């Protein structure tokens, strides 16, 4: 269950990677920072304004989605003639920048926003489970469904897909690829923030959690081949379960101390297998 819970968060982060990559060809290494911003900003809003939980969380997500849009407009769009590789490096720079600013203006301690609905464990099939874990899983599933419905049934969602399939042809029917790129960055930021908002009460958060979150979300998306949101979802859950199994076995190389290394090993394997394919599919931003 712990695996599914943390896997859900990786899935949300992976969704962000997938959305941006499929629409623009860019791998956004600032994706993990959206998770950090979600957790930190929700903590600050809840701690200092006394807003009720739901509006505070929605406000947080809106703020982070705006950060995503600003990141695109200032860092990516203004470098429009740069190659995809340079744009990816720009996102790495942006993540360092966001993390640095967060560490300067906010506390460097770990903070914990309140649970959504108390911290009394629920008994479920003989196991105890935190209600927040249910919030995390439920939110991720709901977000997945909303995204899928958006991409499948709305004109805008279809336009995003059209842009992912063939950017030149999308231009010919009147779709502005740059507007679609802006939307994909905002969407990815919103999904990352959602992950940060729901996970922070359970795991606590700090200005620096984005690195690991980004890494694991990247692995989740890579398992899914950056293809579809659903594939990223499956990838995220897979990483989460493998990690928690390692912690459960807790022997030799499967020690819980190496928990975070597992995602890296999976990443290495994926890169070995897929690097040729990804390079072949490289598209211009």
- The site map against other proteins for 109-148 (x = CB under 8 A) is ----------------------------------------
Judged by CB under 8 A, the residue of 58, 142, 145, 169 near other proteins is 169
Residue 284 zone, left/alpha/beta (φ > 0; ψ -120 to 50; rest)? beta
Cβ atoms within 10 Å of 13's Cβ, excluding its own = 33
Residue 25 zone, left/alpha/beta (φ > 0; ψ -120 to 50; rest)? left
Q: Would you count residue 158 as binding other proteins (CB under 8 A)?
A: yes
Q: Would you count residue 105 as binding other proteins (CB under 8 A)?
A: no
Residue with tokens 């927040």: 132
Q: Which stretch binds other proteins (CB under 8 A): 26-34, 43-51, 101-109, 158-166?
A: 158-166
Judged by CB under 8 A, the residue of 105, 172, 272, 280 near other proteins is 172
Distance (Å, whole) CA 220 – CA 222: 5
Q: Would you count residue 83 as binding other proteins (CB under 8 A)?
A: no
Backbone φ and ψ for 209, nearest 5 degrees, come out as -70, -15
Of 68 and 113, nearer to other proteins (C-beta) is 68
CB of 258 to other proteins, least distance (A): 39
Q: Would you count residue 81 as binding other proteins (CB under 8 A)?
A: no
Q: Would you count residue 284 as binding other proteins (CB under 8 A)?
A: no
DSSP, collapsed to helix, strand or coil, labels residue 183 as: helix
DSSP, collapsed to helix, strand or coil, labels residue 109 as: coil
Residues contacting 62, CB < 8 A, separation 6+: 190
Residues contacting 276, CB < 8 A, separation 6+: none
Q: Nearest Cα to 160, choosing from 232, 229, 91? A: 229
Of 105 and 173, nearer to other proteins (C-beta) is 173
72 within 8 A of 179, measured Cβ to Cβ: no
Judged by CB under 8 A, the residue of 78, 166, 255, 275 near other proteins is 166
Q: Would you count residue 165 as binding other proteins (CB under 8 A)?
A: yes
Q: Would you count residue 153 as binding other proteins (CB under 8 A)?
A: yes
CB of 22 to other proteins, least distance (A): 11
Judged by CB under 8 A, the residue of 100, 138, 171, 253 near other proteins is 171
Q: What is the DSSP letter of 29?
A: T
Residues in touch with other proteins (CB under 8 A): 153-156, 158-159, 161-162, 165-166, 168-177
């Amino acid at each position: 269950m712990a695996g599914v819970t943390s896997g859900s968060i990786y899935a949300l982060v992976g969704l962000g990677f997938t959305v941006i990559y499929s629409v623009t060809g860019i791998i956004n290494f600032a994706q993990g920072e959206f998770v950090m911003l979600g957790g930190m900003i929700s903590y600050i809003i809840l701690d200092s304004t006394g807003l009720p939980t739901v509006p505070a969380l929605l406000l947080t997500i809106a703020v982070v989605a705006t950060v995503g849009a600003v990141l695109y407009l200032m860092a990516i769009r203004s470098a429009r003639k740069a190659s995809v590789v340079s744009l990816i490096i720009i996102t790495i720079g942006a993540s360092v920048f966001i993390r640095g600013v967060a560490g300067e203006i906010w506390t460097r301690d770990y903070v914990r926003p309140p649970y959504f609905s108390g911290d009394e464990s629920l008994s479920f099939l003989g196991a105890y489970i935190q209600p927040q874990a249910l919030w995390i899983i439920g939110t991720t599933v709901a977000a997945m469904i909303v995204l899928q419905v958006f991409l499948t049934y709305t004109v805008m969602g279809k336009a995003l897909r059209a842009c992912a399939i063939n950017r030149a042809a999308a231009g010919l029917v009147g779709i502005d690829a740059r507007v679609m790129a802006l939307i994909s960055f905002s969407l990815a930021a919103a999904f990352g923030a959602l992950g940060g908002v729901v996970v922070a009460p359970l795991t606590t958060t700090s200005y620096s959690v984005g690195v690991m979150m980004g890494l694991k979300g990247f692995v989740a998306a890579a398992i899914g081949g950056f293809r579809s949101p659903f594939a990223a979802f499956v990838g995220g859950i897979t990483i989460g379960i493998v990690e928690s199994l390692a912690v459960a076995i807790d022997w030799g190389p499967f020690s819980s101390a190496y928990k975070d290394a597992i995602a890296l090993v999976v990443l290495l394997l994926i890169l070995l297998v897929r690097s040729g394919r990804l390079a072949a599919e490289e598209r211009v931003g």
